[in-house]
A and B are shown apart, each in its own frame.
Chain A
Amino acid sequence: MQVRGSRQITFALGFMAVLGFLGGCKKQVAGSRPSSAPPPSSAQPTVSLNASPTSVKSGDTVTLSWTSTDATDADIEPGVGKVALQGSTPVNPTDSTTYTITATGPGGSATATARVTVGAAPAAAPPPTSNNQSMSELFEQNVKDAFFDFNKSDLRTDAREALTRTAEFLRSYPQVRVTIEGHCDDRGSTEYNIGLGERRAQAAKNYLISLGITADRMDTVSWGKERPFCTEQTEACWQENRRAHFVAAH
């Protein structure tokens, strides 16, 4: 049975609508007592950055687009520099690159990132399945996790692309059953994240149903924020933890 080629896309994500959490924790004088109403202050800037497409061949053009609020300066690294407060620009990455926009204003600063994965030209279709390639290897190569924005269970474009590949695999191997695990980053309520993880798993399941995979081949379960794939306190790491992850059921 023929299986479509798989580039090793480790992590092709559009980091969209990433709010400025990194700049959001300004400390006030230690030991000061809380007041019932915080003093008025300048609004915290927000910024979002999007890359399209998120997965290209070396030298291809990618369009970065961004918007910000409450900012006076914006800067995109690497290789772009100071930019308008909203706009778009073409870039031609030769290697996989995470672009970071930093928006600064009177109320602080905010950052957002967008990752572009640069791969080799698509490989030719892999050789037909042999005994050397186990089902678990095939599963790992072809079944892709879907990634989500903070606090969201909506399917982004990159998640739909990943799930479309997964659906092709599941159509090719009708005997395979999957458990779809919903995962969340470690910020926020344990209880809400269990619910949110379930919603993410169900969003992936419902999309696969819309692509013709029968519901009885898929179970959903939420791990909330209990099984992180990455434990650093960075947006890149949080993004990696917000996913619907596929496990072959036995």
Chain B
Amino acid sequence: MIKKLAIVAALGIAFAICAGTASAQDWFKTGTGLGVTKARVAVPEFAIRAATPPALEKTFHDVLWADLDYCGILELVSPSFYPTQVPSQPSEVKFADWASAPANTYMLAYGNLSVEGTNLAAAGYLSDVHNPTAPIALQKVYRGPATDDGARKLAHQFADDIVGRLSGGAAGIAQTQIAFVSNKSGNKEIWAMDYDGGNQHQLTHLKSISLTPRWSPDATRVAFTCYVPFRGITSPQICIYSAASDRLISFPRYRGSNSSPAWSPDGSQLAFMSSQGGDPEIFISDANGGSMKKVTFAPGVNTSPAFNPKTGKQIVFVSDRAGDPVLYLANSDGTDVQKLDMPDMGYVVDPSWSPNGQLLAFSWRRPSGNFDIYIMDIVNRQLVELTRDAGRNERPSWAPDGRHIVFESTRNGKRQIWSMLADGSMPRQLTFEGQNESPSWSTK
């Protein structure tokens, strides 16, 4: 039967460590993560120097706190346990005060903010308070415009550096982007936002229907499904948006319905669905449309391709060739097709491959229920259910750290974008206006 323990081990880093924190996670605590300690970090407010407006310090602190709290590998020490004297630079740290009760912290992230003209400088430090003689773990000055948005960016940079140090080198995700579909402008267009929902901005202005965005691996382009004219008929086609030029890059248009583009891990190819030859099948072409090859050959719907991001040699896709739509694996030349059997009937769609190529996230509509997000270990086929009893939960997309998943949910009524840790904990709503769907987490 479905077991969760092995897959938690496969997830590797973070999830086990989360066990002790959030309440109501009794399903998860059982026997997992034994002996794993989550690093405790104290994050006092930065000292204000020069003429730094307190509002900027508040933004910086709030964003830094949220980034570290949500990173999945740290436990933040409550400020009520902090010593009264907070350091602004390494020479002021009283190590014993932080290392002992009640703070009992291992690491201390601190520093100071100063404004010079229109520029904001954040001097950030990370010290191991149990090793006063060890070299400081991190010290860096971050510079940007003295604006609210600038303060957010500096906090994200500092948070990513801290996470990088404390996770053994795996980069943080505080500077990543999420592309999504929003109808806020009156039409479904492609939008992008920071990973925490900040800085939402519209990328496309096609004024028709744009769907299913996916970031290129270098995060410079977004491939998506666009409704545009072809031979006098408005039909779904493949479009590519370039962030560098803020315009669309040309891609061939075909008869029938074309949708769901997905990038190969080196960015040189796209897999997509096309009914140009009749049945909706999966094709793979160069990113400019050249050298197109059909890779599925079964009657029915074949769609939602995704390359294994680790190898690029395997794809997962959705097919209803055997009845309900379910997931299949195949080599990227179309050979060696394998059905991913599930322990129960239902409708399995929206596959998303974890960055290490070991796990698939997808949405599964079981016969008696709602759409929920699951992950499957593709080697041993073990499953973990991440959402339940909270609206329809669909279209998961992995963060590049392999510890977070973004998805769409109707749990609060309208369809909105949410993220969570990849064990299902810490769900957090990222969009609130209009209807928002189909998130894609950038790979860097």
A interface, CB within 8 angstroms of B: 19, 24-25, 27-28, 30-38, 43-44, 107-108, 151, 179, 182, 187-192, 194-199, 202, 219-222, 224, 226, 249-250
Contact = CB atoms under 8 A, between A and B. Distances in A.
Q: Which 3 A-B pairs have the closest CB atoms?
A: A195-B301, A189-B349, A36-B4
A203 to B, nearest CB: 11
A36 B303 contact: no
Nearest to B371: A188
B209 interface: yes
B301 A196 contact: yes
Nearest to B382: A36
Max chain B CB contacts within 10 Å: which of A43, A179, A191, A198? A191
Contact of A36 (B2, B260, B369): B2
Given A34-B388, A35-B385, A190 B301 contact: no
Contacts of A198: 256-257, 275, 280, 301
B128 interface: no
Interface string B430-442: 0000000110000
Interface residues of B, number: 63
Contacts of B437: 190
B212 A221 contact: no
A57 to B, nearest CB: 39
Nearest to B344: A38
Contacts of A188: 347, 349, 365, 371, 394
B12 interface: no
B20 interface: no
Contacts of A219: 233, 255
A220 B209 CA distance: 17
B149 interface: no
A16 B77 CA distance: 59
B325 interface: yes
Nearest to A42: B368
Contact of A191 (B2, B259, B279): B259
A194 B388 contact: no
A191 B368 contact: no
B346 to A, nearest CB: 11
Main secondary structure of the interface of A (DSSP, over half): loop
Given A33-B424, A189-B304, A199-B280, A194 B369 contact: no
A190 B2 CA distance: 28
A189 B24 contact: no
B1 interface: yes
A112 B214 CA distance: 38
Interface string B185-229: 000100000000000000000000101100000000000010100
A227 B149 CA distance: 37
23 contacts: A33-B27, A33-B424, A34-B385, A34-B388, A34-B424, A36-B3, A36-B4, A36-B384, A37-B385, A108-B368, A151-B325, A188-B347, A189-B318, A192-B320, A195-B257, A195-B259, A195-B275, A195-B280, A195-B302, A198-B301, A221-B257, A224-B211, A226-B227
Contacts of B225: 191, 194
B370 to A, nearest CB: 6
Contacts of A187: 365, 371, 392
B236 A36 contact: no
Contact of A221 (B233, B369, B385): B233
B281 to A, nearest CB: 9
B233 A191 contact: no
A189 B388 CA distance: 18
Nearest to B188: A226
A198 B275 CA distance: 8
Contacts of B234: 221
Contact of A28 (B3, B24, B389): B389
Contact of B211 (A32, A35, A190): A190
A179 B236 CA distance: 14
Nearest to A36: B4
Given A25-B369, A33-B27, A226-B211, A191 B256 contact: no
A19 B345 CA distance: 14
B135 interface: no
Max chain B CB contacts within 10 Å: which of A31, A182, A219? A219
A195 B209 CA distance: 16
